Amino acid sequence: MYVMVANFSGNSGKSTLADNLLAPRMNNAEVIRVETINAHEGDDADNLKGKQYGQIIEGLALFNDAIVDVGSSNVQDIMNLMAQYAGSWEVFDYFVIPTVAKPKQIRDTISTIEALANIGVPADKIRVVFNMIEDEDVNIEKEFAPLFAYHANEGKFTMNSGAVVYLNDFYSRVTGLGLTAEKILADETDYNQLLKDATTPDEKIAISQKRALKFLATGLKAKLDDAFKALFG
């Protein structure tokens, strides 16, 4: 499966979703960064630019599963070149647009959907995920009322109110570590036994922090599994 993650708006959590929601559930798909102004933890040198769209399309053939993570500074270049490479959007199975509950980001989300629709991308390929939601008590339809109204009037994209990713301490704890919930849960270390064997306060705190991260990963994975199913179901 090939997925492009994009939004004209910055700060919508595109890279975090690519790494934590999508890649682990797409056979650990390759994540291809397209960013001029690097907002991700990785090295600038590893990032492609929007103007390299042709190379990106060609390079996808090397991977069975891939995610093209487009930074906001490169979305317009990608859209322009996608129109030049007529029909190239068909290479992608889905276009995932993360959005957050802020007026500007919602407007930019609608602009992103319009841009994709204008080059021929059908509604079933354009998927919205509601990101950085505080908790399960949030009324998604109320918080994103303009987006729901746009969907009702235009129908240019596919939306499921269950495609929700909540705020979680996990993300801040693993910043810069390159860890996902799946990687942490794959570690079979018995932290309870290590705590029993630890002899110094510093050692106990370090082990306890790793155990807490595993607790977070367990809860997060279940939530992300649900979001992924709702997004593509």
Q: What is the pLDDT of residue 99?
A: 97
Residue 155 bridge partners (DSSP): none
Please answer whether residues 47 and 115 qualify as being in contact, where contact means their C-beta atoms are separated by less than 8 angstroms: no
Q: What is the pLDDT of residue 87?
A: 94
* Dihedrals phi, psi of 44, to nearest 5 degrees: -50, -35
Q: What is the pLDDT of residue 186?
A: 93
pLDDT cut 90: percent of the chain above it: 87
pLDDT at 37 over 60: no
pLDDT tens for each residue of 174-225: 988 888 999 999 999 999 999 999 999 999 999 999 999 999 999 999 999 9
Please answer whether residues 30 and 67 qualify as being in contact, where contact means their C-beta atoms are separated by less than 8 angstroms: yes
**31, containing H or E segment:** strand 30-34
pLDDT tens for each residue of 49-107: 767 899 999 999 999 999 999 998 899 999 999 999 999 999 999 999 999 999 999 99
Q: What is the pLDDT of residue 101?
A: 96
Torsion on CA atoms 210, 211, 212, 213, rounded to nearest 10 = 50
Q: What is the DSSP letter of 48?
A: B
Q: What is the pLDDT of residue 233?
A: 84
Instruction: Supply the CATH number for residue 129's domain.
Output: 3.40.50.300
N residues, the chain: 233
Please answer whether residues 214 and 56 qualify as being in contact, where contact means their C-beta atoms are separated by less than 8 angstroms: no
Sheet containing 66-70, strands listed edge to edge, beginning at the edge strand earlier in sequence: 30-34, 66-70, 2-5, 94-99, 126-133, 164-166
Q: What is the pLDDT of residue 178?
A: 84
Question: CB-hemisphere CA count at 13 Å for 225?
Answer: 8
Confidence tier at 36 by pLDDT (50, 70, 90): low
What is the C-alpha to C-alpha distance for residues 190 and 13, in angstroms, rounded to an integer? 32
Q: Is the dihedral of CA 64, 93, 88, 23 positive or negative?
A: negative
pLDDT tens for each residue of 106-142: 999 999 999 999 999 999 999 999 999 999 999 999 9
Confidence tier at 35 by pLDDT (50, 70, 90): confident
What is the C-alpha to C-alpha distance for residues 110 and 12, in angstroms, rounded to an integer? 13
Looking at per-residue pLDDT, the higher value among 175 and 48 belongs to: 175
User: Number of structural domains, the chain?
Assistant: 1
Q: Tell me which residue has tokens 């996608």.
A: 82
Confidence tier at 41 by pLDDT (50, 70, 90): very low
Please answer whether residues 122 and 83 qualify as being in contact, where contact means their C-beta atoms are separated by less than 8 angstroms: no
Segments in the chain forming alpha helices (H): 14-17, 53-59, 75-84, 103-118, 140-143, 145-154, 169-173, 181-185, 191-197, 201-232
Looking at per-residue pLDDT, the higher value among 3 and 176 belongs to: 3
Instruction: Read off the pLDDT of each residue in 13-17 and give the average, rounded to a whole number.
Output: 93
Give the range of the structural domain holding residue 56, as residue numbers without chain letter: 2-232
